[in-house]
């Protein structure tokens, strides 16, 4: 483990032991989905609104140079001075020179994450300027000496007792923990700052090319004071905030408050354009003076992203931070573990462009790819996909660590070696094995099996059982090629047997191409596209030769990789891309395929049962493949079972491939939340359609809820199939 990982591990441990942080984030994560859903109750078509935001922002980035020029021209024609800052140093130099030229001594600030991005306050104070944050959250963290932990709620990691203590120190009086009192104390303390300030610095939620105006969406009103009272107003706005017309502000104003804080609208919506007179005190008298407006269009990597066919997607972000609000990792540890200014998955991507790829590489593994953020993002940004693209970029630039590269190239990409090692593991695990699980490990490995048992490699893999479970089908309805994936083949071969049983009961002929290997997802997840291509080519060749009507997988991760990723891998190889697309269209996930066949046969009738079963949605299944109704239909129709829904059924179980092992300290709290919901459902059986989820949840059940059994949906269905 390198030093950077050790530092992140230390940060994670510290945050996991911070009861104040965990309590605040836990309460917010619980309340947020409810308040957001309520805020959208009167929106007739939420998806259409999200699509409107996406299309508008896509059009913006496609024409960013012209829009920026128009915005500059319109703002200039209304009296503003526009400066384009290539990077943070250029911005700071311009601003400090402006302060010296205009004899600025005191500055008030509001709503500017871009200034946090370049640590602007530090340089302004080093230049002898008095700088005061006026957003309540920003003021609090400035008193605490912290960085923002959230893009919208920067002080979410602190409680009222801590804040009262910071206030007491700053104001040199005892401040009680009463929130209204603290807000009033802050208002009183900051009032003089507004009145004495020579310059106000603000950000902007959007800049309108049509008229050179900026828009600010706030709840406190301080931004209006910052933009109106001082004689000089400076706006720092990134290129990604530009929009074409005032009409284009409407979808942002409809989604931003709802997604950020669950509000229908914020308390203040401010639009400002051009310069207006301002009252200043001269020789003891108030006189009217023309206000100066300076707009800094900030690049710092933004234009590079705009010109990248893949990463221009980040321009669809409206900075609502809803992706953080639903991220399983963020809601455990907060934003500070991400190191830079921007947190969560979107923060990792922004860090790559606005700071450095090196900083991205330190934090990218904290995205577990659950896609909850994609489901909720107003701009429909595919955050996990962009993170995988950046991982691939990192691998292209400086390769994988030697050990990882050796395993990928010589083991995962070589089926015979890989499978031989798995067979050897089945023998080597015997001293630690208890039934089908490993409950205890020795020495430094003990922590891996502390709170969850680990799955044992099966004595006999599924490929060795195929001949015994294959039946001769007269006049088969279809010819199915079964892609087992590593987990079903070597960890859960009984699931493979259940799949055969169910399909053969539907009069399907099933073949198992023995040359098949791993789908390549572990390699793809690490960014090694070249090794993934080798694996994909071999699998494509093997299943082309199978000459099947359908390729079926009982693992949604494998199905998603075949169906959506293989063709993309070969974007630069047209012949292989065509082959990948052609065979990808044949790939089906087990429950969706069987539900369709059962529907045709009239076998989806709901039945009464005494045994309660609940269902966990795999992330790849629901949000990757869009499959969630079909497994429920099958379970509801399974004789002897009563389907009951559990809370947060589609929330990640914390497995996420290697993440579940490498970051077990994060994986386990996520799993414990899932186990608590399973227990609360009062179900005797938890059904899943993903072998990786089965691996994770089974391990937790064994240690904490041994009375509850876990079954793949295929196993539930097979119980009612006669041999």
pTM above 0.85, yes or no: yes
d(CA 120, CA 91): 9
> In this model, does residue 69 exceed pLDDT 80?
yes
Domain-terminating residue out of 298, 325, 356: 298
552 and 700 together in one domain: no
Contacts of 127 (CB under 8 A, 6+ apart): 96, 99, 100
Q: With H, G, I as helix, E, B as strand and everything else as coil, classify residue 293.
A: strand
Mean pLDDT on 530-550: 96
519 and 572 together in one domain: yes
Q: Exposed, middle or buried, 231 (CB in 10 Å: 0-12/13-18/19+)?
A: middle
Domain-located, residue 328: no
Q: Exposed, middle or buried, 228 (CB in 10 Å: 0-12/13-18/19+)?
A: middle
Structure confidence at residue 2 as a pLDDT band (50, 70, 90): very low
At 494-521, the pLDDT tens digits run 999 999 999 999 999 999 999 999 999 9
560 and 614 together in one domain: no
Domain-located, residue 174: yes
At 420-477, the pLDDT tens digits run 888 888 888 888 877 777 777 654 455 566 778 888 889 999 999 999 999 999 999 9
Domain-located, residue 363: no
> In this model, does residue 309 exceed pLDDT 90?
yes
Q: Which residue has the higher pLDDT, 596 or 286?
A: 596
> In this model, does residue 277 exceed pLDDT 80?
no
User: What is the pLDDT at residue 438?
Assistant: 78
Are 144 and 166 a contacting pair, CB within 8 Å? yes
Q: Express as a percent the part of the chain with pLDDT over 90.
A: 78
| Strand ranges across the sheet with 81-85 | 81-85, 292-298, 232-238, 199-202, 106-110, 130-133
Domain-located, residue 341: no
> In this model, does residue 1 exceed pLDDT 50?
no
d(CA 352, CA 561): 25
141 and 266 together in one domain: yes
Q: Express as a percent the part of the chain with pLDDT over 70.
A: 97
174 and 228 together in one domain: yes
User: What is the pLDDT at residue 324?
Assistant: 94
Structure confidence at residue 231 as a pLDDT band (50, 70, 90): very high
At 123-161, the pLDDT tens digits run 999 999 999 999 999 999 999 999 889 989 999 999 999
652 and 577 together in one domain: no
Flag the least confident range among 265-274, 558-567, 625-634.
265-274
Mean pLDDT on 287-314: 92
Are 207 and 213 a contacting pair, CB within 8 Å? yes
Structure confidence at residue 6 as a pLDDT band (50, 70, 90): very low
- What total number of domains does the chain contain? 3
Domain-terminating residue out of 241, 275, 298: 298
Mean pLDDT of the chain: 92
Domain-terminating residue out of 248, 270, 298: 298
Domain at 210, CATH number = 3.40.50.10420
At 596-610, the pLDDT tens digits run 999 999 999 888 888
460 and 486 together in one domain: yes
Can you state the angle between helices 590-600 and 493-505, rounded to 10 degrees?
20
144, 133, 234, 141: which is closest to 193 by C-alpha? 133
Domain-located, residue 115: yes
203 and 175 together in one domain: yes
| Residue 500, phi then psi, degrees to nearest 5 | -60, -45
Flag the least confident range among 396-405, 677-686, 697-706.
396-405
User: What is the pLDDT at residue 12?
Assistant: 92
User: Within its chain, how far is the Cα of 539 from the centroid?
Assistant: 30
172 and 227 together in one domain: yes
Tabulate helix, strand, coil % of the chain (nearest 5).
55, 15, 30
Q: List, in sequence order, every residue forming a beta bridge with 290; answer none if it has no partner.
A: 277
466 and 531 together in one domain: yes
Mean pLDDT on 656-662: 85
Structure confidence at residue 239 as a pLDDT band (50, 70, 90): very high
565 and 629 together in one domain: no
Structure confidence at residue 53 as a pLDDT band (50, 70, 90): very high
Domain-located, residue 239: yes
User: What is the pLDDT at residue 140?
Assistant: 93
Domain-located, residue 355: no
Domain-located, residue 337: no
> Which residue range is the domain that position 635 belongs to?
594-718
> In this model, does residue 287 exceed pLDDT 80?
no
Query: Which H or E element spans position 641?
Result: strand 640-643
523 and 451 together in one domain: yes
User: What is the pLDDT at residue 278?
Assistant: 67
Are 316 and 59 a contacting pair, CB within 8 Å? no
The two three-digit tokens of residue 615, written as one number? 């269902």
């Amino acid at each position: 483990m390198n030093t950077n990982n050790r530092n992140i591990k230390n940060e994670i441990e510290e945050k996991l032991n911070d009861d104040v942080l965990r309590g605040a984030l836990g309460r917010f994560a619980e309340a947020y989905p409810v308040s957001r859903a309520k805020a959208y109750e009167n929106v007739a078509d939420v998806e259409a609104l999200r699509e409107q935001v996406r299309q508008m922002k896509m059009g913006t980035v496609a024409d960013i140079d012209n829009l920026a020029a128009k915005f500059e021209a319109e703002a200039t024609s209304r009296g503003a001075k526009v400066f384009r800052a290539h990077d943070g140093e250029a911005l700071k130099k311009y601003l400090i020179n402006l302060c010296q030229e205009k004899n600025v001594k005191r500055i008030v600030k509001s709503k500017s994450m871009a200034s946090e991005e370049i640590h602007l306050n530090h340089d302004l104070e080093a230049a002898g300027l008095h700088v005061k944050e006026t957003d309540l959250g920003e003021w609090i963290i400035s008193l605490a000496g912290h960085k923002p932990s959230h893009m919208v709620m920067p002080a979410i990691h602190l409680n009222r007792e801590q804040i009262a203590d910071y206030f007491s120190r700053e104001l040199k009086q005892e401040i009680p923990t009463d929130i209204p009192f603290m807000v009033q104390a802050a208002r009183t303390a900051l009032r003089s700052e507004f009145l004495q300030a020579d310059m106000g610095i603000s950000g902007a939620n959007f800049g309108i090319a049509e008229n050179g105006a900026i828009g600010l969406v706030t709840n406190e009103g301080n931004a209006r004071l910052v933009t109106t009272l001082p004689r000089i107003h400076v706006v720092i706005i990134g290129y990604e905030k530009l929009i074409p017309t005032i009409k284009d502000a409407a979808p942002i104003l409809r989604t931003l408050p709802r997604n950020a804080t669950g509000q229908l609208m914020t308390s203040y919506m401010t639009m400002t354009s051009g310069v207006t007179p301002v009252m200043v005190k001269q020789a003891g008298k108030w006189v009217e003076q023309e206000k100066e407006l300076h707009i800094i269009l900030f690049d710092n990597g933004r234009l590079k992203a705009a010109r990248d066919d893949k990463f221009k997607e980040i321009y669809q972000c409206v900075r609502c931070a809803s992706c953080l609000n639903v991220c399983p990792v963020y809601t455990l540890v907060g934003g500070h573990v991400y190191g830079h200014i921007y947190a969560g998955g979107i923060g990792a991507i922004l860090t790559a462009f606005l700071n450095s790829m090196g900083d991205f590489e330190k934090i990218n593994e904290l995205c577990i790819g659950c896609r909850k953020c994609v489901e909720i993002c107003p701009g429909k940004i595919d955050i996990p996909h962009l993170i995988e693209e950046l991982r691939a970029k990192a691998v292209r630039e400086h390769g994988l660590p030697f050990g990882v590269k050796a395993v990928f190239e010589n083991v995962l990409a070589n089926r015979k070696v890989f499978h031989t090692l798995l067979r050897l593991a089945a023998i080597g695990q015997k001293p630690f094995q208890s039934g089908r699980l490993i409950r205890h490990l020795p020495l430094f490995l003990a922590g891996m099996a502390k709170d969850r048992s680990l799955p044992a490699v099966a004595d006999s893999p599924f490929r060795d059982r195929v001949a015994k479970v294959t039946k001769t089908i007269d006049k088969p309805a279809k010819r199915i090629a079964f892609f087992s994936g590593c987990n079903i083949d070597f960890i859960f071969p009984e699931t493979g047997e259940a799949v055969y049983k169910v399909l053969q009961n539907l009069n399907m002929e099933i073949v198992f191409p023995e040359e098949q290997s791993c789908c390549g997802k572990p390699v793809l997840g690490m960014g090694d596209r070249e090794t993934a291509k080798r694996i994909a080519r071999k699998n494509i060749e093997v299943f082309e030769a199978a000459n099947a009507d359908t390729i079926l997988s009982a693992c949604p991760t494998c199905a998603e990789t075949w169906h959506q990723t293989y063709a993309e891998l070969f974007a630069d190889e047209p012949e292989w891309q065509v082959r990948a697309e052609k065979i990808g269209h044949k790939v089906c996930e087990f429950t969706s395929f069987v539900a369709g066949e059962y529907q045709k046969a009239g076998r989806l009738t709901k039945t009464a049962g005494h045994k309660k079963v609940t269902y966990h949605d795999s992330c790849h299944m629901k949000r990757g493949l869009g499959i969630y109704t079909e497994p429920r239909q099958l379970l509801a129709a399974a004789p002897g079972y009563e389907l009951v829904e559990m809370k947060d059924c589609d929330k990640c179980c914390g497995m996420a491939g290697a993440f579940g092992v490498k970051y077990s300290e994060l994986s386990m709290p996520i799993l414990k939340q899932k186990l608590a919901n399973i227990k609360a459902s009062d179900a005797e059986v938890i059904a899943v359609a993903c072998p990786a989820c089965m691996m994770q949840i089974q391990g937790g059940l064994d240690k904490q809820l041994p009375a509850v059994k876990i079954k793949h949906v295929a196993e539930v269905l097979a119980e009612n199939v006669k041999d």
